[in-house]
Every structure is written in C-alpha cells, then in structure tokens.
Amino acid sequence: MKKKILVTGGTGYIGSHTVVELINEAYETIIIDNLSNSSVDVLDNIEKITGKRPAFFQFDLTNKEELEKFFETNTGIEAIIHFAASKAVGESVEKPLLYYRNNLLSLINLIDCQLKYGVNSICFSSSCTVYGQPDTLPVTEETPRKDAESPYANTKRVNEDILCDSVNAHETLKGISLRYFNPIGAHSSALIGELPLGVPQNLVPFITQTAAGLREQIKVFGNDYNTPDGSAIRDYIHVVDLAKAHVVAIERLLTNKNKSRYEVFNLGTGKGYSVLEIVKGFEKATGVKLNYEIVGRRAGDIEKIWADTSYANRELGWKAETSLEETLLSAWNWEKKIRNII
C-alpha cells in the first residue's frame, strides 16, 4: 500500500520537484496550492516526467474552513511536507503583514488539523535565513539563530518555534525542519523549474531571464561586503538534490528513525559562492554573456553564509551531488525551453 503524502505549495518551485521525487519513490501525493506564485500547468509536467498525476486542490491554507473540509474528505494522509509560503526577502520588508498572515497562519491551521485528524508527521520547509548573519562560518545546526534580518526570515524562525513547541506539547506529533540554503537549477527534463510570476526576486531566474532577453540587465546588490570580490556569498544547492532530502526526511519520520520528536537539518552543499561568481559561472557554463550592473545593497540581505552539512550527510545518508556548472546549465535549459529558444 502506497503511503499518502500531502504537499502544500506542491506546484511551486521546490514543491513540484519534491512531488516528482516522492512519486519516483512510489508515494501517493496530494497537493494543496493557492497558485499565488505558480501555475496549474505544472501538474501536466509532473505527469509527463513521472507518468502519474498528483491529486490537486486549489485553496489558501489560511482558510481554516476549507482546510477542515479537505481533511474530512481526504483520509489516510500519513505525513505532510509544508512548503506553502510567501518567500521573497525584499517583498517581505515592504509587506510584512502579508508575510506574517500567510506564513504563520498556514502552519498553525495545518498543525491544528494534524492533531484533529491524526496526521502525526510533518516536514517543514525552513531556511538558513534563521541564522541571520552568523558570527562564525560555516553554520551548523547548533549555530545560534539570530534576530531576523527580514519579516520573511522571521516567519521561518517563528514557524520553527511553533512546530517545536507543538511537538513538545503533543506526544503524537513529530517533525523535521529542513533549513535550506539557496535552491537553484531545474529538473533535467527541463519540464519543471523556477518560474516566478512577475519580476524574479531570486538571482538565478533573474540571470536566466536576462540571458533570454526578458530583462535588460542584472542588478548585483552591493560590492562593498567583506568578501573576496565584495558581493554577497551564498550556498547554492541544486533543487533536485534538495527535493531528494525531503523524501529521506519523510522516510525517517514514517519509519521512526528520528532521534528525537523534533529535528533540524541544514541542506546545502557546504560551499559558498559570491553573486559575481554565479554570474561568471553562468557565462562559463552556457557561453552566454550577461549584462549586469552593480548597485547598492538590498534591505534584508546578509553578507555571507554557507552550510556545514556534515550532520545531514551523516544522519540522513544524503548529500548534495550536482556541480555548480551542471546546476546553472539546467536552469538555462529550463529557461530556453519555456521561452522557445533554440
């Protein structure tokens, strides 16, 4: 009997890649998504890749009544992977209430329903932004979380606390928070990838859209950071490597291999690259020259961060394996396919 997994935000960028990996491992998947930053067409492409179409429900998780109705009619769900959230750092600085309402209320409603309908396991999509600007690098899971640099980061930090406190209060519940570093790239089929609605808030889709001629130039935010080339440093991980870690986390919860009822893991490559290195790396991987301009720093951004992934590597038996060049090329192949560029 295949185990049934609910994936919230499952038509989104990381969600869709995770649904593919779950189906590949013979899980039955159900998606809830409000399509605020994704398209229903993603379901067709998941089906093309896997041969299976996930069940899909379109509504907003902040709507408790709809969520209750969903759980009443969809029984047998064994675990939840919770991606659904507003996710742009810059936008969160401008619209903090949108972020607090969407991101906190959706998790609170989900956990309420978990308790009511007996769904014991949840894997939460967290972020390395909970570390703020760390005092020492790389960051481990024991690195102290700092005051958030943006409302988005704060919602991830508060949601971790909501999940941890809920697990401590209810002995039936167990959860894993996965703290991602920077997911980039696309599925090797070029059928799914990162397709933000409107102006991209993340670096790589902005790069690929500029390479495709949709954007005039890339803005590099800041060249006066304390880094080798002055631009900010991040740990960039291929989205498929990241997706596979969610499958491992779910298996860990469902087979009771977790060491405690609430666990945290860093998901990254363990190596930091600067924004300018990514720009140059893209040019090298694809042979496409990019038009970029260095501008002032962006509100909410931190200077540098990368992961110590040894705990996740050891405990989960998982490791990011895709090279930066291959990852950037996959992002370009995806962009070319959706823009019909030969």
Nearest to 92 by CA among 105, 82, 102, 106: 102
The alpha carbons of the chain give a radius of gyration, in whole angstroms, of 19
Domain with CATH 3.40.50.720 in the chain: 4-183+237-267
Domain with CATH 3.90.25.10 in the chain: 203-234+270-337
The span from the CA of 72 to the CA of 174, in Å, is 21
Mean pLDDT of 93-105: 97
Q: Which tens digits make up the pLDDT trace of 41-90?
A: 999 999 999 999 999 999 999 999 999 999 999 999 999 999 999 998 88
Q: Which tens digits make up the pLDDT trace of 312-327?
A: 999 999 999 999 999 9
Q: Which of the residues are catalytic?
A: 152
Give the Cβ contact number of residue 340 at 10 Å. 7
pLDDT of residue 2: 81
The span from the CA of 341 to the CA of 236, in Å, is 25
pLDDT of residue 329: 98
Q: Tell me which DSSP letter residue 177 carries.
A: E
Q: Tell me which DSSP letter residue 258 carries.
A: -
Mean pLDDT of 123-136: 95
Task: Answer whether residue 182 shows pLDDT above 80.
Answer: yes
- Specify the DSSP element, H or E, that contains 222: none
3.40.50.300, 3.40.50.720, 1.10.357.10, 3.30.590.10: CATH of 4-183+237-267: 3.40.50.720
- Residue 174 near residue 121, CB atoms below 8 Å: yes
Counting residues of the chain whose pLDDT is more than 90, the rounded percentage is 93
- Top CATH class of 203-234+270-337 equals alpha beta
